[in-house]
Amino acid sequence: MFPADYRASRNAFFDACRQAGGKMESHEHPLRGADGDVVATDVASFGAASASQVLMIVCGTHGVEGLCGSGMQLGLLQRGFCNRIPQQARIVFVHALNPHGFLELRRTNEDNVDLNRNFIDHSCAYPDDAAYAEVHPMLVPADWDGSARREADARIEEFVRIRGASALQAAISRGQYTFSDGLFYGGRAPSWSNGLWRRLLQKYAAQAQSLAVVDFHSGLGRRGACELISGATANSQEHRLANTWFGDGIVFPGLTSTAPAAAGYMGSSLVETLPEVASALVVAEIGTVSFDQILLALRADNWLHARGQRSSKQWRKIKALMEESFVGRDRPWQDEVVEHAARVCGRALAGLLT
Ligand SMILES: [Zn+2]
């Protein structure tokens, strides 16, 4: 079964990687968790350091989605995905890239930053946040169980009635850089996880010819389905490589994906950090519940951390809603999801080696 929480996941990851003969390292976050314990991103590598072809498999970029992504990593390890690695290949698992988000069951990190909107050039002007600014007051009401919330919900309904659900989704999830207490906030500087990720790229892939990255996410799409999403621009080398390594079922945000076009995607870090390496990153997005429920859970959780009380009844209720919105707890769903992981990662590895 998929792990119950960050602590259980971390232990299971260590056990499974050690058993499979992986080399482990831990990167402790400078802040301890709210539970007083160390919080870390853990890495396991399999195969020769001199390998020319590198596959990196990441979970927990959006913390709470680590509940699903770590289950996928464990499923791969238990199926023996790392047992017979060809000489020219290396496989690197990154567990909980955003560890505070995973511990707290949040999409965002310790600063309410959405890591997958944080990979933007912070020295340049930020994108225009006017579309988000319009919906921000509806998303973050003053209370969650009172009249402010009811009014906010009514305004959201009206927005959807007049402008459509996709306009709402686009305004929210594109990423914004102005409202630090809002949703999909990309931050004003590279986050700790952003810096660590670039160091991991250097360490594990700088010597390689080719690098494929699979970043496990969950939430959007039909329940149990897996959508492969690439942020690569049309006709770029990454676009071509993504199609070659992962097959032509890949979708592109804003065109054919359930995910909208957005700023600050993690995929841009590959060519920025390792311009000499042929590389592509694909998000494997596993469907859980409807977009309406995802949005409700994200609003509730955002409200909770901005204005709510830790350890309250409401806290437990909203955290339960976050969990059920981003991971399935039934066996058939989890089996299907591990199948997706094996298919996607198996295909990527085969693609790298041809
Ligand atoms: Zn995600």
Tens digit of each residue's pLDDT (9 = 90 or more) over 305-334: 999 999 899 999 999 999 999 999 999 999
305/345 same-domain check: no
Q: Which tokens belong to 294?
A: 């995802």
CA of 187 to the centre of ligand 1 (A): 16
CA of 48 to the centre of ligand 1 (A): 30
Does residue 331 lie within any of the structural domains?
yes
Q: Which tokens belong to 106?
A: 């949040």
DSSP code of residue 254: T
CA of 157 to the centre of ligand 1 (A): 25
DSSP code of residue 275: T
CA distance 188 to 178: 9
Does residue 59 lie within any of the structural domains?
yes
**3-state secondary structure (DSSP) of residue 119:** coil
For residues 106-113, average pLDDT:
98
CA of 299 to the centre of ligand 1 (A): 15
263/328 same-domain check: yes
Give helix 6-19 / helix 66-78 axis angle, nearest 10°: 20
Residue 262, pLDDT > 90, answer: no
CA of 284 to the centre of ligand 1 (A): 9
Tens digit of each residue's pLDDT (9 = 90 or more) over 29-41: 999 999 999 999 9
Closest by Cα among 352, 116, 117 to 244: 352
117/244 same-domain check: yes
217/266 same-domain check: yes
Tens digit of each residue's pLDDT (9 = 90 or more) over 120-166: 999 999 999 999 999 999 999 999 999 999 999 999 999 999 999 98
Tens digit of each residue's pLDDT (9 = 90 or more) over 59-89: 999 999 999 999 999 999 999 999 989 999 9
Residue 234, pLDDT > 90, answer: no
Band of pLDDT at residue 254, cut at 50, 70 and 90:
low
CA distance 91 to 341: 14
Q: Which tokens belong to 190?
A: 């590279």
Does residue 317 lie within any of the structural domains?
no
Amino acid of residue 218: S
215/147 same-domain check: no
Per residue in 299-316, is it b (16+ CB within 10 Å) or e — as a string? Answer: bbbbbbeeebeeeeeeee
CA distance 25 to 38: 14
329/251 same-domain check: yes
CA distance 242 to 213: 10
Does residue 33 lie within any of the structural domains?
yes
Per residue in 176-207, is it b (16+ CB within 10 Å) or e — as a string? Answer: bbbbeebbbbbbeebbbbbebbbebbeebbeb
For residues 289-316, average pLDDT:
94
For residues 222-251, average pLDDT:
90
118/142 same-domain check: no
CA of 99 to the centre of ligand 1 (A): 14
Does residue 339 lie within any of the structural domains?
yes
- What does the pLDDT read at residue 185? 97
- What does the pLDDT read at residue 34? 92
Distance of CA 191 to the CA centre of its chain: 14
Does residue 57 lie within any of the structural domains?
yes
CA of 86 to the centre of ligand 1 (A): 31
Tens digit of each residue's pLDDT (9 = 90 or more) over 169-228: 889 988 999 999 999 999 999 999 999 999 999 999 999 999 999 999 999 999 999 999
DSSP code of residue 251: B
Single pTM value for the model: 0.96
Does residue 318 lie within any of the structural domains?
no
CA of 158 to the centre of ligand 1 (A): 27
Q: In what order do the strands lie in the sheet with 53-59?
A: 23-28, 40-47, 89-95, 53-59, 210-223, 278-287, 226-229
241/260 same-domain check: yes
Does residue 239 lie within any of the structural domains?
yes
Other residues' Cβ atoms within 10 Å of the Cβ of residue 84: 6
CA of 285 to the centre of ligand 1 (A): 7
CATH number for the domain including 239? 3.40.630.10
244/304 same-domain check: no
96/204 same-domain check: yes
94/170 same-domain check: no
CA of 22 to the centre of ligand 1 (A): 26
Q: Are 22 and 45 in contact (CB under 8 A)?
A: yes
Please give the tally of structural domains in the chain.
2
346/255 same-domain check: yes
Percent of the chain with pLDDT over 70: 98
Residue 260, pLDDT > 80, answer: no
For 70, the domain range is: 6-122+192-290+323-353
Angle at 153 between CA 148 and CA 155, to 5 degrees: 95
Band of pLDDT at residue 256, cut at 50, 70 and 90:
low
